[in-house]
Structure 1
Amino acid sequence: MTSTPTTEGDLLRAELAALGRHAFLGGEGGMSYLIMAVEPTTQGDETAAYGVPHILMYAGEQADRPATAHREPWSAHLHGATGDYVATIFDGSPTPLDAAADAALCARHVTAWLQSYLGHFPTPPKRFCTSN
């Protein structure tokens, strides 16, 4: 039985989950990305993330590319409830990083921005805590 390789999106989703946020793999027009609702109260519902202010995160054009093929840095962009682009939150690492380090950097920047924007940040749910 063959296993599915870890993707760039898997790495970023794991980093975000460790920080108490949940993102979903999405796609459009041949591109794939991660989507996450800005407000933590809607973060558990993928469908709801498209109808509220949300963040789209890209690693080039394919978030579902194998992590071993990581070549382009993650970037994160705020979009309004109707999907319109609002602002760039994170524009990628200025130096090349491996897939895991790049995902960790993006997750830290996105969650720091969310904390600043929301004025608070929830404690990660117990299911994401490794010490319990």
Structure 2
Amino acid sequence: MSDPNVPQSNVANAASDNEPFTVQRGSGNVFADLGFADADTMALKSSLAIRLAELIKQRKMTQTDAARITGIDQPNLSRVLRGKLKDFSSDRLVKALNLLEADIEITVSTRGQKIGDTIVLASTAAETAW
């Protein structure tokens, strides 16, 4: 039985009825493709959260350890790692990455031409043996 709160896919219905359907290439930003007004912000925050999760996993840290270092309490860190990002700014996620000794590099360009030097938001954390 299907969940009445979940929209049913038109693609699945069309395929089952042997009617043609259109496949459309995405833009590279799933949030824009779904029509979210703040799609760029959502894409940035989700990318930062993915990097945060990868770093925690790479370092074999517990959420409790990562929470202590980043200053994000463990329940909120758990929410971030599950993609619940509405209460977190991209600045806060960058700060958490920096506190875990990750550098962030930002490149500004227009029409494929780089403008100025790459901006490096260098980690301010003390060296730690992981």
Higher relative contact order by CA 8 Å / sep ≥ 6: 1 or 2? 1
TM-score when normalising by structure 1: 0.31
Which protein has the bigger helix share? 2
Based on CA coordinates, which of the two structures has the bigger radius of gyration? 2
The TM-score normalised by the length of structure 2 is: 0.31
